[in-house]
Structure 1
Amino acid sequence: MSGTAVEAEIRKFGALAARWWDPDGPMKPLHRMNPLRTRWIAQRIARRHGRSGTDLSGLTLLDVGCGAGLASEAFARMGAAVTGLDAAGEALAAARAHAAAGGLSISYREGGPEDLAAEGARFDAVVALEVIEHVEDRARFCAALAACAGPGAPVFLSTLNRTARSFLLAKLGAEYVLRLLPVGTHDWRMFPTPGELGQVLRGAGLRVTDLAGMTMDPLTGRWRESRDLGVNYIAMAER
């Protein structure tokens, strides 16, 4: 398929579709991380619309690289009208089935953000969580995210930093030692530093206005917001 999605990455995550919703399966780290990252995003969207907490009622949100819908469902439960977008058809099939079983109305589409941008689709917020480290053409990808964001709409990305610590913890530790993720899930060389991410977003006409680290407690497995950007981090960007 054409676009910013990498075929090998599509196949890799499509193969995990059947176990995506297993909280103790290969996506266990995302299950643990999801409450933190979706709450962090929702609070900032709600604040922009003069709301408290995580009230997203009536707002449109695009979840790029949605997989089987972990974040999409969380945002839908907060009241957002969610469009989930992914290039892996197997993951989308799992997403549709899980949303239907939970009584959630989420629009899932196969493709990349450049496809929606070409259609002129615009949203109140655009998110791409744990996606950009799997994208080959980051400039084109971020330009498509920006094009899908309506006037004044923020764009959110979360990813991993390319540091020695992330190599030890997120690559060797998570994949080879603790087996928290399937071996080969990540290519450490593809992790963007905050500076690199900021630069590619600026090229897309966006500037980073909020940035936070996401840190896991190794004893409890729980995630919290922090100032430590050394491994996982999340960013909000605006025009």
Structure 2
Amino acid sequence: MYSNRFGRLVSGLYGRKRSAVCGVVQSAAGRSGFSWTAVSKRRSPRLQRSVSCLEMRHHAVPCQISTRSSSQTTVDPDEVRRFQLLAGKWWDEQGEFAALHAMNDLRVPFIRDNLLNVHRARHPGKPLAGLRILDVGCGGGLLTEPLGRLGANVLGIDPVEDSICTAQLHASFDPDLRDSVSYRACTLEELSAEGEGEQEQGAGHFDAVVASEVVEHLADLETFAFCCGHVLKPGGSLFITTINKTNLSYALGIVVAEQLLRIVPSGTHDWEKFISPVELERLLESNGFSVQSVQGMLYNPVSGAWSWTNSTAINYALHAVKLRDDPQQDQAEESSPHPEDSTAATHS
């Protein structure tokens, strides 16, 4: 299997002493039988070659650390150490991140469809062409790559430098991603601070920010929400998938998933960091966002597949939009008729 060969390759690379910094489908799964997981398997066998991180086209570029980011950070050092140990395993579809690979069958169409409702331009074959997306906490690029294949210009960032190395190595073997996907080893607040001295301060650079299975690992959600608003353009979209803070999420997400079934490594999640949709919506609205939709998600450990559900008791996906400076402009756009609109949160 492609992913297993890649996993062995990366494990071999990380086993050596490093001497340098490593540097469209139109419809979702369901009726069409299309699987985003299957797409990642139909890749070139060139990963059998021995490759050094220094030979990659992309390089991990550290961001400048600002006064704000050094005093208010989203990064939990314990989380960084935990994911550092898993950095070489991102593309093993049967390993610790198997559930995240399978989640692409839901989260990719969720992001695509909602963005198409906001940005009405149509680009056959590349529906997200012309859009800039920031993938926060991208890990090995499991979500970054499919968004790039949909035509978006995607920047993936992660504080774990070895995860960025894995993401760059994997993307380097796909020429279709050469101009659409890039990575940086930094935090969200560091990236946000880079625009402080620019003339367009606060205007933002991205059409969308994605934070999938990230917020439950952060140290400061207030800083996260503020920085998301800072890097987004007015009217830009924020997509979050995370775990609700309920007794059921503790029983299934930690006791069953981590301790009994070992779907994810033990200690991956801290229930105290989980956040309910109500709390998350309140946080986002206090930072200039308007929540558009919240949809429940359910993972079946037997089939290894995700499905949409009306219940948000365990996992859920959220779409919010950054309000414009001129609220009348938002109201005018909302009241204007758009016959092509569809409800993106409704999935088969």
Matched, 1:16 2:86: yes
The structure having more radius of gyration, on CA atoms, is: 2
Q: Is the 8 A contact 1:161 1:229 kept in 2?
A: yes
Equivalent of 1:67 in 139, 149, 152: 139
Equivalent of 2:156 in 75, 84, 89: 84
TM-score (norm 2): 0.66
Equivalenced residues, count = 239
* Matches of 2:270 and 2:232, distance apart in 1: 28
Equivalent of 1:134 in 214, 217, 220: 217
Provide the secondary structure at the position in 2 that maps to 1:153. Answer: strand
* Matches of 1:223 and 1:216, distance apart in 2: 4
- How far is the alpha carbon of 1:116 from its aligned partner? 1.9
Per-residue CA deviations over 1:43-93 (Å, capped at 9, x if unaligned) read 111221115698111211000000010000010011110000110001000
Equivalent of 1:151 in 234, 238, 249: 234
* Matches of 1:51 and 1:25, distance apart in 2: 38
Equivalent of 2:268 in 177, 185, 193: 185
Per-residue CA deviations over 1:186-233 (Å, capped at 9, x if unaligned) read 001110011111111122111211110111234422112221101000
Matched, 1:58 2:130: yes
* Matches of 1:40 and 1:51, distance apart in 2: 17
After superposition, the CA RMSD in angstroms is: 1.6
Q: Is the 8 A contact 1:15 1:90 kept in 2?
A: no
* Matches of 2:112 and 2:87, distance apart in 1: 26
Per-residue CA deviations over 1:83-119 (Å, capped at 9, x if unaligned) read 0011000100000000001222311011111122222
Matched, 1:49 2:109: no
Matched, 1:160 2:243: yes
Equivalent of 1:216 in 292, 299, 320: 299
Provide the secondary structure at the position in 2 that maps to 1:223. Answer: strand
Matched, 1:108 2:191: no
Partner of 2:253: 170
Partner of 1:97: 169
TM-score (norm 1): 0.95
Provide the secondary structure at the position in 2 that maps to 1:69. Answer: coil
Partner of 1:36: 106
* Matches of 1:168 and 1:34, distance apart in 2: 24
Partner of 2:4: none
Per-residue CA deviations over 1:174-194 (Å, capped at 9, x if unaligned) read 101111000000001110011
Identity value in percent: 39
Q: Is the 8 A contact 1:213 1:232 kept in 2?
A: yes
Answer with 49-58 or 212-221: which moved more.
49-58
4+ runs of 1 displaced by more than 3 Å? 51-54
Q: Is the 8 A contact 1:139 1:203 kept in 2?
A: no
* Matches of 2:110 and 2:166, distance apart in 1: 25
Provide the secondary structure at the position in 2 that maps to 1:70. Answer: coil
* Matches of 1:15 and 1:131, distance apart in 2: 17
Matched, 1:200 2:272: no
**Which runs of 5 or more structure 2 residues have no equivalent in the other structure?**
1-64, 196-203, 324-348
Provide the secondary structure at the position in 2 that maps to 1:79. Answer: coil
Q: Is the 8 A contact 1:175 1:182 kept in 2?
A: yes
Per-residue CA deviations over 1:103-138 (Å, capped at 9, x if unaligned) read 223110111111222222510111111111111111
Per-residue CA deviations over 1:140-160 (Å, capped at 9, x if unaligned) read 111101111112111111100
* Matches of 1:189 and 1:225, distance apart in 2: 25
Provide the secondary structure at the position in 2 that maps to 1:152. Answer: strand
In structure 2, give the amino acid aligned to 1:7.
P
* Matches of 2:254 and 2:221, distance apart in 1: 21
Equivalent of 1:6 in 67, 71, 76: 76
Partner of 2:28: none
* Matches of 2:121 and 2:108, distance apart in 1: 16
Provide the secondary structure at the position in 2 that maps to 1:101. Answer: coil
